Amino acid sequence: MTENNVEPELRSTIAVLGLGPMGRALAAAALTGGHPTVVWNRTPEKAQAFVAQGAVLAPTAADAVRGASIAVVCMINYGAVRASVADIADWPTGTLVNLSSGHAGEARAMAGWAAQRGISYLDGAILTPAPTVGTRAATILYSGPRSLFDRSRALLEAFGTSVYLGDDIGIGSAYEMALLDLFAMSVGGLAHAFALAIAEGIEPAAFARFAKGIGGLLPDMADRFADQLAVGRFPAEVSSIASAGSAVAHVSAAAAARGIDTTTLQAVQRIIGRAAAAGYGGDSYARLAQFLAEADHADASAELATPKPSLPQLSH
Ligand code: NDP
């Protein structure tokens, strides 16, 4: 780790495959940790800064992993990973640690691919931004065989705080997807809220002062959701689904009046409407999580995924 360079006896070769912003942070952390570091990237020019710092640039991913104890792969998606590591074979001494984003099914398929080739495989997810990597502030989830994690742990400490979730290889990705769901919807909401504020003539800085307060409500809400979901009771002590539905309707009308896209708000309204129609309008918002998890919403999602054409179709 940056603040804790490892003892010489713990140093071991680390390969880093993928040198986007996150891969570069991982390679920098490996070098800072004092580990012999081999890098590979589809676009090799991105490796130059690391070569200047003592890393070895391998011509292929298979060459990069050959003498490594662990190979950390961090790319845009599992498709890129599969394309890059396809040639790796006959590597009994190392562990492939895939920290690229993807869903649990992709992690399980990747583990199947590795098993067929006799490659030891851990999957994982990085929960914090690239600048945290190499410090204790970086949180990295790992899943897969416990023995592999234990064997790799000392090296993985170079990257941040390691959290082992269990031997289900897909569980790290499952956590990551649910957390990205929260992040994506929150950031989308933030952008939409700023758009509405700007359209109403509110200064962005003045709006930010109050927007931070809304974000600050989420930690306690997460605990309240977890408590209510654990016992399956949803008293609306703070606010009900029906009341939240009314608030969303106000916002939707305000956005429409300013000509701002209301698609996401309409989607939330539809979900709330279905929950209310099922008899949950008087329950707390946490009930919505259980409603979404239980109900078969395939039809509703398909309806959203295939919007009706709003323009006349060209005839051929
Ligand atoms: P990207 O998600 O843009 O990934 C860039 C890397 O993917 C580069 O090494 C790029 O190679 C490689 N790549 C893309 N397409 C292909 C392909 N078809 N074949 C081979 N390699 C390919 O950047 P990041 O480094 O930021 O992210 C990497 C992973 O880390 C992602 O899954 C991301 O979700 C995750 N992550 C990133 C965070 C961050 O702060 N950046 C935070 C948490 C997770 P090339 O250079 O040749 O284009």
| Ligand 1 site, residue 131, Cβ cutoff 6 A | no
| Ligand 1 site, residue 22, Cβ cutoff 6 A | yes
- Secondary structure element (H or E) that encloses residue 39, with its range: strand 37-40
Residue 299's pLDDT is 53
Residue 6's pLDDT is 65
**Distance from Cα 57 to the centre of ligand 1, integer Å:** 18
| Ligand 1 site, residue 84, Cβ cutoff 6 A | yes
| Ligand 1 site, residue 85, Cβ cutoff 6 A | no
| Ligand 1 site, residue 252, Cβ cutoff 6 A | no
**Tens place of pLDDT for every residue, the chain, 316 residues?**
444 466 666 678 999 999 999 999 999 999 999 999 999 999 999 999 999 999 999 999 999 999 999 999 999 999 999 999 999 988 988 999 999 999 999 999 999 999 999 999 999 999 999 999 999 999 999 999 999 999 999 999 999 999 999 999 999 999 999 999 999 999 999 999 999 999 999 999 999 999 999 999 999 999 999 999 999 999 998 899 999 999 999 999 999 999 999 999 999 999 999 999 999 999 999 999 999 999 765 555 555 444 433 333 333 2
| Ligand 1 site, residue 306, Cβ cutoff 6 A | no
Measured between alpha carbons, how far is 149 from 155 in angstroms, rounded to an integer?
10
The answer to whether the beta carbons of residues 119 and 88 sit under 8 Å apart is yes
Ligand 1: residue of 19, 22, 24, 175 to mutate (most ligand atoms within 8 A of CB) is: 22
What amino acid occupies position 17? Answer: L
The answer to whether the beta carbons of residues 171 and 104 sit under 8 Å apart is yes
Q: What domains sit in the chain, N to C, each tagged with a CATH number?
A: 7-167 (3.40.50.720), 175-301 (1.10.1040.10)
The answer to whether the beta carbons of residues 260 and 252 sit under 8 Å apart is no
Read off the pTM.
0.89
In 3D, which of 262, 287, 138 has the Cα closest to residue 196? 262
